[in-house]
Structure 1
Amino acid sequence: MGRWEPGARERLVLAAVDLFTEQGYDATTVAQIAERAGVTKSTFFRHFPDKRELLVAGQESLSRLLAEGIAEASETASPLEAVAAGLVKASTMMGPMNRELGPRLKAAVAASAELQERDALKSVSLAAAMTTALVARGVPDTTAALAGELGVLAFKRGYATWSDSGDDDLAPHALKALDELRAASLSLG
């Protein structure tokens, strides 16, 4: 595949996840990822500053969509209803490639402390985006932070069940997870 062919970013992500799963994160080099993706190392570095950043490809778009969905929710929406609107909007960026990558990415993250750290930072960033969007709607800080954290947990749980399913749409899985978390929080007393 020539380096000028479209889809280099996606091919790099797929190649990296495959290599991380096959031989481990630490044993995988940028050169190997680029070669597997059919691009040059310089093309790799045009898309990512280092191999660790492959894990969070699309994070900025995901954060933006979550925040936009929250901002676009009905004025009368509760904080969790606004989070649900954010989850629905963010689900629109998830396609078959994301669903296919889910189990492989989970295995790669589980096998690497460095990737676990990066995944945790990604969660913090997504929660911050939702919290900021909720505060902009007038939700008190503590309530917004809790709703943002529940939104991240719902997204992760929904993504996990969706990636194991044959469904096309992530949204119902994320919304079901949010409903389960809402019910569980009520049982805390």
Structure 2
Amino acid sequence: MTSSKQVVAIKSERIAACMTCPICHKLFKNATTISECLHTFCRKCIHDLITKEDLDCCPVCNVYLGCSPLDKLRADHSLQDIRAAIFGALGRREPKKAEAGPSNPLPATIEPKELPEAEPSVPLPSRRKERSLSSLVSPPKASSQTVFNGRRKSEPRRFPVSRGSALSIEGAGHERENLS
């Protein structure tokens, strides 16, 4: 299989604008997204803002985050990996001015790269013995009382569709005339 390598010129300042924390105005460090509105911040920035200022809404769009806003924060590993691949994992450093100019666009390759396999950031749950639900329920005790299972033994009684009514349509019309 032949793989063709495509190079697309993208200005690094356009990518940096998408990877910049609205609180500290630097590139994301441990990108963290609010699950309610999907705005992303540095983990430390949003965590400090919520805890120190007792914030209960998104600092960008003011969407209410409920009584426990820290529970709405989720690590955004995809965005963090993109940031590391483009700008490197050099802390909170801004891209160099020489890289960011329009005369020097940032090449981005579309070909998938082989990355070293990383350890999962979330520990995997240990394997537990699975038990069926029926083993968790105690068997019903036999009783001498009648058990209702919700089904009828005989077919329900059916009534004819058209039933005669005591009031006729003509009689109802005469009552209207008497009222007026």
Is this a same-fold pair by TM over 0.5? no
Query: Which structure: greater helix fraction?
Result: 1
Q: Output the TM-score relative to the length of structure 1.
A: 0.17
Question: Higher RCO, 1 or 2 (CA under 8 Å, sep at least 6)?
Answer: 2
Q: Output the TM-score relative to the length of structure 2.
A: 0.17
